[in-house]
Amino acid sequence: MGKGTKITKGNVHAAIKDDKAHIDYLKRDVLDDQKKGGKYKDINQTADEKHISKLAGDIKADKSFISKHMHKI
């Protein structure tokens, strides 16, 4: 896996917002996969769920960055 955007004090909040929006999109995509079905339904759904987990981990790390580097936001 490649590295994502370097988190700084200037972009941490935007990164969290972007990750949350991406998770929302992926959740809707999972629901669409469930409704439409198709040959690759399970593969696509699993990939989306793994991506959601990764983004959730990114958000957790970003919030950890905030608590370590930015006091009283």
pLDDT in tens, 8-45: 999 999 999 999 999 999 999 999 988 887 888 899 99
8 A C-beta contact, residue 70 and residue 9? yes
pLDDT, residue 29, reads 93
pTM equals: 0.82
pLDDT, residue 23, reads 97
Look at residue 51 and tell me whether its pLDDT is greater than 90: yes
The one-letter code for the residue type at 3 is K
pLDDT, residue 36, reads 86
Inter-helix orientation angle 41-69/12-36, to 10°:
160
8 A C-beta contact, residue 7 and residue 15? yes
8 A C-beta contact, residue 25 and residue 31? no
Task: Read off the pLDDT of each residue in 32-59 and give the average, rounded to a whole number.
Answer: 92
8 A C-beta contact, residue 44 and residue 33? yes
Looking at residue 7, what DSSP letter applies? Answer: P
